[in-house]
Copies of this chain bind each other. A is one copy, B any other.
């Protein structure tokens, strides 16, 4: 099966937001990826396993989460089309991970093994640059999230989420958003009532 190698290709388009690629580089990069279709509720990564692959989401929606000692799920990240999803710890160290990644909607992924990723870093410095940049951006957004969690009450965290990811608010059940911002679904419901009250 031949992969797209032009600008219809969401991944190459994403990379070219950050730097310019030669056609040969595009082909080299794409040859390292595989395609994976995944049904709703299916797992891409299971806790305890070593994450052999990271994934770039072409369509659908994936969710990365942690299950705590009491069985509660805490969502670390949603990934819709044009986003990356991975258990970074397990993927970079190739140690067993603590995170789960599953599909909230039927999804289509470009997947890349750690092995091929490292080879590609050697063969194509621009690809390593791309990862340096998206990792920087990821770090920055995680830092904002830590700051928000430390400094804002739940109601403000919810409003920020709504402002930042309006698409997700429509698309996802509220209970998942509650899990992302770190509160119970019941409490989120109460907050939403408050908000609707003071139009």
Contacts and interface: CB of A to CB of B under 8 A. Distances in A.
Interface residues of A, number: 33
Contact of A88 (B98, B125, B139): B139
A144 B66 CA distance: 10
Output the residue of A131, A132, A182 with the most chain B CB within 10 A.
Answer: A132
A161 interface: no
Contacts of A150: 66, 74, 149, 182
A142 interface: yes
Contacts of A145: 146
Interface string A145-189: 111011110000000000000000000000000000010000000
Contacts of A48: none
A49 interface: no
A74 B135 contact: no
Chain A interface SS verdict (over half): helix
A74 B144 contact: no
Contacts of A88: 136, 139-140, 143
A9 B74 CA distance: 42
A88 B39 CA distance: 37
A91 to B, nearest CB: 9
A27 interface: no
16 contacts: A66-B147, A66-B150, A74-B150, A76-B143, A76-B147, A89-B140, A89-B143, A92-B136, A98-B147, A121-B132, A125-B125, A132-B132, A135-B139, A138-B139, A149-B150, A149-B182
